[in-house]
Chain A
Amino acid sequence: MLSVEANDRLTRVGPGTPCGELMRRYWVPFAATSQLADDPVRKVRLLGEDLTLYRDKSGAYGLIGERCAHRLVDMQWGIPDEHGLRCPYHGWMYDESGQCTDTPLEAADSTFKDRINIGGYPVQELGGLLFAYMGPLPAPVLPRWDILVWPNAVRQIGINTLNCNWLQCQENTGDPTHSVWLHGEMFKYSLEKSGQWAARSEDKQTFTVYSRIKMGVGIKGLYANPTQYGMEKGVIYAKELGADEDRVSRHSTVIFPFWTQTGSAGAPRSEFQIRVPIDDTHTLHICYQCYSAPSGVEAPKQESIPWYEAPMYDENGKPILDYVLAQDMIAWWAQGDIVDRSKEKLGRTDVPVIFLRRQLDENIRKVERGEDPMNVFRNEDEAGPILYGSGNPPERWLNPNWAKEQMGGSGNFRANYHKGFVQDDADRYGSAVPLVVELHKRIEEVRQAAMNTGG
């Protein structure tokens, strides 16, 4: 439970708000470059501001004000020029800083344009994503988080717009035990209800549902620790409470402020889920999916990184609940526009959620004191060439003896999309899936060959 004031402080992202000022210290991903393939101009709403994204004929990106200064025409209908974007109404042209550079129907020697600027924010491209920086200059370095730049991999980007505040999406990351019900019991219920249970049971795909339900057995408690880049958390199991053994199950890494990572860099399937605030009540949810070829395997080549939108509703307007991300997205939306945290009651499984809120507040305070918050990097040495979100390079996948050490094969269903397991995930909607299936086949072949030669 938080006070109403504390809840506002952590959730609202417009200009001048405490959390909005924090968010403006980061390079914020807001689109896939492939979204501009059909139309090089798009309307964008980000951190409560309406903007226009364009790629001009020189290939440069701009993120400028929403409307032309002349007659206030919406610039999403603009015409890309060699260096800038022209208003479709009278041809006024703006560069990437929002500076007007041409007013073609004014006198040739007019200096009118020099006094007109509709604003613009710096844009950078990395790994097929476009990032904007909307804070005070100088801008920090754009961090090269591992799977954005990981070599020898297939990638695709899932993008959804959600009608809810960003923090309830991110808090899901601090809540590992939701899998037991949302991705276990509720998944099972929805498959039974939609008549899919029998079909999925036939090819043994339902074991993933059972494995999630089983995650609820023998929980002793949860833990949360700070890490170099965010938070680590997990579930502690006890044999005395019914678990197979005493063990600690570490869950996905949280990269502050709005990233989470499942699967380490180099794995056959890893993902960033990025919860970008569009405004107080809308979130751009980006699933950056990377399917890496471990040492000794070559990934199929891609010309570009495709994007897709995973459907949330069927043709009758009812929620689609037969894949994991849809279950999450519906749960976040079902909490309301902005969760009223003054009315909630947290328990012992919410330890990482509480940690996450405290870390967020701590970093808002840093910005209020004029300091850089966590994960703002001021020089290239800090941020590259690869920044491991977990803090640890994935030695397992880089090991040249990887295949030999994988005797017995990988039991992770997300390394087995070629056996049909892609249907549990939003990934199934992406156009890169045939390449991923081919990659997972190659991985299995190499592993199998190592096994046949006796390791």
Chain B
Amino acid sequence: MEVSELTKGSRVLLEDGTVGEVVSIAADQKTASLRVLEAPFDPGKEGTQMEVTSFDLVAFVDGDSYDSSKSSAGLGRTNISI
């Protein structure tokens, strides 16, 4: 999942379980700023802003559902031996 796929206002899941809303995206599209909505393992982070890179992004969040297929960069590769 790439920062370039994000739009302002979209909600994303990070690998540590944090859910954030995109506040802004850097002009070079390498980082984005999130407002932390939920940080189950570090509740003190909720309401704060944090910067993320593509390395941190796992999936888009829709309500209670997480879905990594909504990234335009599909996984779709494996070393198939059949």
Contacts and interface: CB of A to CB of B under 8 A. Distances in A.
A242 B16 CA distance: 31
Interface in A219-245: 219-226, 236, 238, 240-243
A220 B70 CA distance: 8
B68 A348 contact: yes
Interface in A331-348: 345-348
B40 A358 contact: yes
Interface residues of B, number: 26
Chain B interface mostly helix, strand, loop or mixed? Answer: loop
B64 interface: yes
Contacts of B17: 2, 354, 357-358, 361
Q: How large is the interface on A (under 10, 10 to 19, 20 to 34, 35 or more residues)?
A: 35 or more
A281 interface: no
Contacts of B28: none
A221 B15 contact: no
A225 B76 contact: no
Interface in A1-47: 1-3, 5-6, 9
B58 interface: yes
Interface string B22-48: 000000000000000000111000000
Contacts of A188: 81
Given A3-B42, A6-B41, A351 B81 contact: no
A444 interface: no
B16 A2 contact: yes
A214 B82 contact: yes
Contacts of A362: 40
A242 B76 contact: yes
Nearest to B64: A226
A351 B66 contact: yes
Contacts of A1: 15-16
Nearest to B78: A216
B41 A225 contact: no
Contacts, number: 106
B71 A221 contact: yes
A135 B82 CA distance: 51
Contacts of B81: 185, 188, 213
B58 A350 contact: yes
Nearest to B42: A3
A365 to B, nearest CB: 8
Given A221-B71, A223-B68, A358-B40, A348 B82 contact: no
Given A188-B81, A351-B13, A238 B76 contact: yes
A349 B68 contact: yes
Contacts of B13: 351, 354
B75 A221 contact: yes
Nearest to B75: A219
Given A213-B81, A221-B70, 17 more contacts: A1-B16, A5-B41, A9-B41, A185-B81, A213-B82, A217-B78, A217-B80, A219-B76, A221-B59, A223-B67, A226-B65, A241-B75, A243-B76, A351-B58, A357-B17, A358-B17, A361-B40
30 contacts: A1-B16, A6-B41, A6-B42, A180-B78, A213-B81, A214-B82, A220-B69, A220-B74, A221-B67, A222-B68, A223-B65, A223-B69, A224-B65, A225-B64, A236-B69, A238-B69, A238-B76, A346-B58, A348-B59, A348-B68, A348-B71, A349-B68, A349-B75, A351-B59, A351-B66, A351-B67, A351-B68, A354-B15, A358-B40, A361-B17
